[in-house]
Chains A and B, each alone.
Chain A
Amino acid sequence: MIVKSFRLPRIGTPQILAFLTILMADRLVSPQFFDIRLQDGRLFGSLVDVFNRGAPVALLSLGMVLVIATRGIDLSVGAVMAIAGAIAASLVDGHSVPVALGAALGVGLLCGLWNGFLVAVLRIQPIVATLILMVAGRGIAQLITEGRIVTFSSPSLAWFGNGSVLGIPAPIAISLGMLLLTLLLVRGTALGVLIEAVGANARASELAGIGTQAITIAAYVWCGLCSAVAGVISAADILGADANNSGLWLELDAILAVVVGGTSLFGGRFSLILAVFGALIIQAMNTGILLSGYRPELNLVVKAVVVIAVLLLQSPRLAGFGYWFNSKGTT
């Protein structure tokens, strides 16, 4: 059918267009924007920077999109980043790297399990349930670091921030790996469609025999893991854990990335790849404003404008060309 052949390019068109437009705008303010050099076996350049700096939010949005698809939200991702970073940084100079890393990721999973338990079993509203860990989590991270910035010297852990794989900076490679892993986990199995079913109509899903509690918990657990990975990367990046600032307010960027990626806050249909695009759009704006020499405060205003533009492009209400872009999957 003709309608069918139109379907694929229609999904995601607004996000990809927005991303390209912002890159072009970045090129206007900074003529060297697309220049990429290879130095010490690692790629450098503004464009590489967009991906590299965007990695933590991209990772957060991978987990966040699953949680939002279940009709939930996770406000604690920034705090979980701080906890994971604090644990990795404090353990790595006394224990081996796998132990430090395992502990950080394990705690991320536990945090996700806690959120999932509050939401799915105790049936607390997600925004309230995860607010608990958002507030408490940063306190826990500060307790771990004893209020200091814990620095470390392990080059193996530092690799997560500064290393590279075949010239690709490690944060980008890790994020890409996590994206593929998440895609495999949710789209390679039936988990994705079950999450969509639970998010779109939990009652009907329950009656169709879906274990809605387990599905919901799984989404929060994965979100916890993704946050922990992001936390390790951002700690490795500065060779230390700053419990006060690591991941601060990034939950909002992650939610924004998911929404810009076309996933409804009312749950249901979701797209992992477009959520990552959402994160990249946000980072491309940040980088552009830094390069342009404008005051960084302007960033917030520009962000708002771009978000409105992308949401308008997705709106089914927008007649004419808007109709064309309207992604079919989200109705």
Chain B
Amino acid sequence: MLIYKATELVNFAQGDLLMLGAFIAYMAVVWWGVDYWISFLIAVLVVGAFGALLDRTVLRRVIGQPQFAVVMLTIGLGAIFRTFASVTWGSEIYTLPTPFSSVTQIAGVTLSHQYLSIIAATLILCGVLYVFFSHTRLGVAMQATSQNQLAAYCMGIPVKLIFSLVWAISAAVAAAAGILLAPVTLIDTNMGLAVALKAFAAAVVGGFGSIPGALVGGISIGLIELYAGATLPEGIKNTAPYILLLTMLAVRPQGLFGTPGGKRM
């Protein structure tokens, strides 16, 4: 769910982009009566373009400033998006109708197609991203840019363009995730914040910058949350992911799949 690998930038507005994606899809499906798949595409494209625009207008100016500035900037942007959403769409809760409403029985377990669709889409998305980052010229260029902007620039990589592309992709992925999540969590203006926090937990547990790690981290966070909700006293469920996150950071900061980083002057 997170694109950190390419930019080493952490985007705290990710959750809010996710929310925007869900809202746009909702508008397309319910208000304009567009087909689900086409509106999925529309939402992803719109939010992706929006991400690129954001980079062009706002985020490019803080290149060269400490990471802290970017973190605060994205937090501020997230707050603006939330306000925008609550002003335009109000604070009601919406449900997004999807074509996946039936259920299947596999080996006695009832699986709803909604969850299956989420799992399948996540796997496909992760696969595509993994291949993109490790096997295409553009993906490798993005990784190079993330590691050393100046060196990448000297090697002829169009760093500015790469940055815009990275933000576009990351926003588009967030939008896709938002649309997939919409039937499960329902759409409201605060859906992004909760999801983004858990996504951070997943990313840290799995190891920042590792796509298989993010998958494993996400699954383990989800499972732990479920089991904690079922077996432990009420209230632990909401905090369990964060407790796991803290212990993980204390014990193995690079995460399960991260590579221990050496430090260089």
A joins B in a complex: no
Chain A residues near B (Cβ < 8 Å): none
